[in-house]
Chain A
Amino acid sequence: MTLFSKSFVRGLQRRVWTETKQHPQWKSEARAARHSAPRTAQSRWRWLVPLLAIGVTATAKGAALALPILLAWSATLMFFRAAQIQQLFFAHSESTPFSQFPVTEQFVFRHAARRLLRTSLWLGVDVLFFLAAFAVRIRSEVIAESLLFAAACAVGIWAAAIGGAITLVWIRPGFPFGIISGFALSFGWVGILIVSSAKLLTPASIYTGYESFRWCLPTGWVCMLIEPWLQGNHAPFIAPLALLAGLAVATVLAARSLRRAFNFWPPTVESENSSEPLPAEVPVTRVSEIEDAVTSRIFLSAQDWTRGGFLERTAARWLTLREHRVMNLALILPPGWTAGYPYACLFLIATPTVAWLAQSFGGVRPEWILVLGTLAGLGIITPLFGGAWTAFDLVRVAHRATAVCNFWPVSLREMRGCVLKLNLVRFLFALPCWLCAGASSTAFFAAPISQGIIIAGKSWLLVLALQLFFLAFKYSASTNDTSSGFLFVTLFGAICFSIVAAAGTAVFLSVAAGSFLHWLIAVAVVALLSWLLETAYRRAWRAQQFDLLAKSGGVPVA
């Protein structure tokens, strides 16, 4: 079942081109249109993941990391696929075009299912590439057998990831899987950078984390089956096999259930972004109430973000009148900064407790619980990646996406000033929590508390130094910098990013060396590069080097 006959389309293309060639004007227009079509080059970067993974596991020390990497990678992709299933089968944005054609629901469902399988095949190919390289390296004497084994394992990982994704959507259809996978990537990177730099995360501890988590994830069960062959370990065999059999049954049940729940007819009112059901009829507000709201000027201050709490009020004191106006756009919804503190404290208290319980009763050192819990707690009160600002939200315009702020008389310089001021206030307020978290973590590892406080303080400073870097990424999301041939931004960004990451690592390595000067230079380098990147990008933005319209993939219609 295909959407169109390829031979029919090819035949038509030939005839159209034959006729077009006879008109010089049409011919030049057709060529120009072909050359102006957007190119999708980003997907090529996907190959870096298996290459990077192979590079990491190439050393004798890194060989133990093969399975943890495979588990983390396939788990993240499983969540990505779960998000894709939600998008393909339930978001309506993918199936809406079919509503104008005489097609059955079954046709649309099968089309979505084929699309899921086709696009997810790359997961298996990437895993195969990685496993084949790894297996051939460690079992070079039996290359043919290694390749065969790698192919079988890749199929297993792929099937477990897709099955897991389908089952997850079946169990929790409305769960934000896309956000989880995004956070998994971001937090994973930052967490690994910080913790490994502080030498808390060794290959042995990573393997301990893998051993704890492999039971929780379907792809981990496959990993357990291939462990004896790949690592020479004696992993449990019957239990993961039984779990995989259960997953197969659950996948079939889930797929049937999803098929029954599938309804491709789009809602009559645009409600994709609204979590609340729309009223059946639009309530007609009394005209006198509206007149009162306008004449009393309430409507001008209806969304006052400074009412949120102490932190919001303190931050607002730093702003000028104009900055207040700009922040009305940047913080349409109450930011909940003050309200986040109780939750953050709860996380920071519960994390060592859970870790201690896991250690006491599980008999393992659960470093990962401590790392992820602490990062999640601190992430609530600290804008780790520049913070969330509605002004940078993307909306779709003319089939492309742009930031909300681009429609209003607000300059990037103004936005930047406000965001940096408010982020700095939030960082300052969060510092005590960082230091406490550092102290409690090192106490858990039976290390000197002062070391934990130093590491926490320096992590805080590093993330603060990277704020401009993250801010540049926020501008970049709403521009066509990388797709308009503006390649140097990408290259420049990638190079700076690598240097910043390396310098950040150096900051923490110098902690171990005990050299205050080294640490000072390293953090200065991080801050300088972060500033340089943001300044260069902002200058390019100001010089109108690129459009403020980006690709609109997944962005809702305005």
Chain B
Amino acid sequence: MFFIESNLRKWLKYAFMMLIIFFSILLIIEVYNKYRTYHSFQLQQQYYETQYNSYIQRVDQQRKEIKEFFEFLIDNNLYLIEFDYSYSSGIKAKVSTFLDPTEKIVSKYEILEISKFKMNEEYYVILQINQ
């Protein structure tokens, strides 16, 4: 009886050892898979976050440029005739105003005179402005 019991115990012990090793390996693989999924999600989130931040920055920069142009119109008393903005090619506008004969508008924009004629003491001018 003692031998049979001892033998059975031995086999049971081996069986448990095998199961322990087998499930330990499975556990390690499972933990690694979970970690990989979590890590790649984190990386993806970071990537989206960077994209989001750069998008918001581009939006802010764009609004700043457009507002700056409208402030330029206000500061120089320019009437807006046509305003055409596209993200790729920037601002193109047609404006008009009254200028003294010696007056010149200086700005960072490219200004071309389309038409000009005298109105009493001033000149009425139509300008093409490009960014």
A-B complex is real: no
Residue numbers of B with Cβ under 8 A of A are: none
